[in-house]
Amino acid sequence: MAKYQEIAAVLAKQIVEGDYRLSGKLPTEKELMDQFQTSRNTIRSAIGLLADQGYTYQVRGSGIYIKEINFDNSVNLNLVKGLTSEFREQVNQSKLLELSTVEATEELAKLFAISEGLPLYYVKRIRYLDQEPIRVEMTYYRQDIVPYLGKEIVEQSIYDYLTENLGLQIGFADRQISADYLTEEHAGYLNLQAKDPSLRIREKTYLTNGQLFAVATGVLHFEKITLFASGKVYQ
């Protein structure tokens, strides 16, 4: 992970934890340069990343302000991280439905740019927010990049394990969002009825070197979670 990304991650954590709630803004560039012992360009890159992720906005001559985002139970589509990180204080359980090794089908092999038949981890689990089911996740991981996944990991934060234990440098994700009807199976997991509406997110997650290492499909509870994104307005 580049230095500016590390700094942005630290600042994002501080923002989420409320460290800047009183001031409503980040320290000055000079203060951040002194705090992180780095250059002005690195700090500016970190601040730019925070803005791209929807955390901050800049008022010229006044400073970098924290955005007030008060969308309860919302997933920030600008961020590449798991639900446990997104709702650190609220997500308290993941119920594992399946953890297995499967062979890459022709479709998956083409998607991952690997040979057909190579091993992949398949993880299927239910995610809970305040003890209520909010999402069914089905994810494939390349085993040559993620050599081990166990029950003790997938019932917690896989994202934290990948970044902190395996040291993977996760770079970006592509997300495709569509509306759909719940199948009987997914409705049962989410305590809803078959044919109820749902949001379906198909996500491809890449390392900083551009390697695709995970492909996921998430089926979301339409009453308990919303999505939002933040970006610049171009004129």
Per residue in 106-153, pLDDT (tens digit) is 999 999 999 999 999 999 999 998 889 999 999 999 999 999 999 999
Domain range enclosing 17: 3-66
pLDDT of residue 195: 96
Confidence of residue 233 (pLDDT cuts 50, 70, 90): low
pLDDT score, position 89: 46
Distant-in-sequence, close-in-space partners of 143: CB < 8 Å, separation ≥ 6: 101, 118, 119, 120, 121
* 234 within a domain of the structure (yes/no): no
Q: Which has the minimum average pLDDT: 48-62, 98-112, 158-172, 220-234?
A: 220-234
Instruction: Please tell me whether residues 85 and 38 are part of one structural domain.
Output: no
Query: Torsions phi, psi of 4, nearest 5?
Result: -65, -30
Residue 98 lies in a domain: yes
Is residue 218 domain-resident? yes
Task: State the Cα–Cα distance between residues 194 and 180, nearest whole angstrom.
Answer: 11
Residue 211's CATH number: 3.40.1410.10
The total number of structural domains in the chain stands at 2
Strand order in the sheet with 93-103: 93-103, 119-129, 132-142, 212-221, 197-207, 170-181
178/219 same-domain check: yes
Residue 19 belongs to a domain: yes
The pLDDT of residue 14 is above 70: yes
Percentage with pLDDT > 90 across the chain: 53
Burial of 76 (0-12, 13-18, 19+ CB in 10 A): middle
The token pair at 14 is: 């501080």
Considering only CA atoms, which of 221, 192, 205 is closest in space to residue 81? 205
DSSP code at position 161: I
Lowest-pLDDT choice from 20-29, 39-48, 183-192, 197-206: 20-29
| 41-86 pLDDT per residue, tens | 999 999 998 888 778 888 888 899 988 765 455 566 655 555 444 4
For residues 33 and 91, membership in a common domain is answered with: no
Q: Strands 226-228 and 74-76, how do they pair? A: parallel
pLDDT-based confidence at residue 17 (cuts at 50, 70, 90): confident
pTM of the model: 0.72
Domain boundary among 66, 96, 111: 66
Same domain? For 181 and 204 the reply is: yes
Residues 89 and 13 in one domain: no
Would residue 233 count as lying in a domain? no
Q: How many CA atoms lie within 13 A of 35 on its CB side?
A: 13
Q: Mean pLDDT throughout 198-217?
A: 92
Q: Is residue 92 part of a domain?
A: yes
CATH number of the domain encompassing residue 52: 1.10.10.10
